[in-house]
Amino acid sequence: DIQMTQSPSSLSASVGDRVTITCRASQSISSYLNWYQQKPGKAPKLLIYAASSLQSGVPSRFSGSGSGTDFTLTISSLQPEDFATYYCQQSYSTLYSFGQGTKLEIK
């Protein structure tokens, strides 16, 4: 099974900050990597698919990069509505798996 590890597990930042979240796969997954945002009590929402493609309707301040085993999600200028938990997810294997999540909190 492919293990996904995110870092950090939690992060405090301020509005306007640039933030980067890292996701590492236990084996190469090419660009089969997606990013989701989840707010309390809500279903996850797709942000980035195929490592770097922005989902329709998602603000351009969100971007993704990477391939192989190392990936990043970057928020260029944090907005109040961006404080949430972020998950990476691999779709290289039919045993789909998620990272443990990164909780982004207001400093």
Partner 1 sequence: EVQLVESGGGLIQPGGSLRLSCAASGFTVSSNYMSWVRQAPGKGLEWVSVIYSGGSTYYADSVKGRFTISRDNSKNTLYLQMNSLRAEDTAVYYCASLIVGATSFSWFDPWGQGTLVTVSS
Q: Which residues contact partner 1 (rule: CB under 8 A)?
A: 1, 31-32, 34, 36, 38, 43-46, 49-50, 55, 87, 89, 91, 94-101
Which lies closer to partner 1 via its Cβ, residue 49 or residue 71? 49
Among candidate residues 41, 59, 63, 61, the one with its CA nearest the CA of residue 50? 63
Chain-centre distance for alpha carbon 4: 11
Tell me the closest approach of the beta carbon of residue 19 to partner 1, in angstroms. 19
Region label for 49, one of left (φ > 0), alpha (ψ between -120 and 50) or beta (otherwise): beta
Which of 56, 52, 104 is CA-nearest to residue 78? 104
- CB-nearer residue toward partner 1: 31 or 66: 31
| Residue 11 CB, nearest approach to partner 1 (Å) | 15
- Of residues 75 and 88, the one with the C-beta less far from partner 1: 88
